[in-house]
């Protein structure tokens, strides 16, 4: 049985038994001062605004018994999984692996690399540490989803045009139907968020669908 979600470019038939909520990189490194996002020169304050809507969505999804996947952009302490191109590009104040206000920047296990308390994973949820922007690259995510019969992915998280869009495109190429929750994703560049929403749903949903989280909350209620 599927739930009809009003979405763009057309309605999304949500089948909870085959769906997962994928929360991308809601880590202190991106949302709080002193982390990776800020070292890249971004104003991180903008991203906090999506936390309440994301919390409400996560709570409803858990209540409905849906599978939850959390991702973290996280490198090994020895940086063996961080290509030189990623490490050296630009001239950030601090590089990946350097010590910042919240421990080593973008390194697994460091305080800044943790998912924010408001959206912390609970037992039974999948947590993926990923070295890339996309959650499918160099992780076992596709196999984990296939084992569980998952075909639909609802996306939240940061940033819209970097890790969220990359993951959504990776998912699309692997045969998943992706729905991006508009008010549960944010960018350091509002115009990039707007453009991403447009490009995902253009051309008949060339990458997937978009909808406000309230559309899903209403269907689950």
Give the residue numbers annotated as catalytic, written as ranges. Answer: 25, 130, 163
Burial of 99 (0-12, 13-18, 19+ CB in 10 A): exposed
Instruction: Please state whether the peptide bond connecting residue 9 to the residue before it is cis, i.e. omega within 30 degrees of 0.
Output: yes
Piece of the chain touching ligand TIU by CB under 6 A; list 84-92, 154-162, 195-203, 213-221: 154-162
CB of 33 to ligand TIU, least distance (A): 15
Residue with tokens 């692997």: 174
The answer to whether the CB of 31 falls within 8 A of the CB of 48 is: yes
Chosen residue from 159, 167, 196, 213 binding ligand TIU by CB under 6 A: 159
52 Cβ contact partners less than 8 Å away, ≥ 6 residues apart: none
Of 73 and 110, CB closest to ligand TIU: 73
Q: Which of residues 17-36 bind ligand TIU (CB under 6 A)?
A: 25, 30
Piece of the chain touching ligand TIU by CB under 6 A; list 47-55, 61-69, 92-100, 158-166: 158-166
Piece of the chain touching ligand TIU by CB under 6 A; list 5-13, 48-56, 155-163, 173-181: 155-163
Residue 73 interacting with ligand TIU (CB under 6 A): yes
CB of 180 to ligand TIU, least distance (A): 14
Virtual CA dihedral for 68, 190, 45, 84, nearest 10 degrees?
Answer: 70
Chosen residue from 40, 56, 126, 194 binding ligand TIU by CB under 6 A: 40
Residue 115 interacting with ligand TIU (CB under 6 A): no
Closest CA relative to residue 130, chosen from 27, 33, 35: 27
Residue 186 interacting with ligand TIU (CB under 6 A): no
- Neighbouring-strand partners of residue 128: 71
Residue with tokens 């019969």: 149
């Amino acid at each position: 049985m599927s739930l009809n979600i009003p979405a763009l470019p057309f309605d999304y038939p949500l089948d909870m038994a085959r769906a997962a909520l994928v929360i991308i990189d809601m880590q202190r490194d991106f949302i709080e001062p002193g982390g990776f996002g800020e070292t890249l020169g971004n104003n991180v304050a903008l991203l906090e605004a999506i936390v309440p809507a994301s919390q409400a969505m996560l709570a409803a999804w858990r209540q409905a018994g849906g599978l939850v996947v959390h991702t973290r952009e996280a490198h090994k302490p020895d940086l063996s999984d961080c290509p030189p191109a990623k490490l050296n590009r630009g001239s950030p104040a601090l590089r990946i692996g350097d010590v910042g206000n919240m421990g080593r920047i973008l390194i697994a296990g460091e305080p800044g690399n943790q998912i924010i308390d408001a959206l912390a994973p609970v037992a039974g949820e999948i947590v993926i540490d990923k070295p890339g922007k996309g959650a499918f690259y160099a992780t076992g995510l596709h196999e984990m989803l296939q084992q569980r019969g998952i075909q639909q992915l609802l996306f939240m998280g940061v940033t819209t045009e970097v890790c969220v869009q990359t993951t959504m495109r990776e998912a699309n190429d692997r045969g998943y139907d992706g729905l991006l929750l508009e008010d549960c994703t944010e960018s350091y560049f509002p115009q990039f968020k707007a453009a991403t929403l447009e490009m995902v749903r253009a051309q008949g949903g060339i990458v997937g669908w978009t909808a406000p989280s309230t559309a899903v909350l209403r269907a689950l209620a």
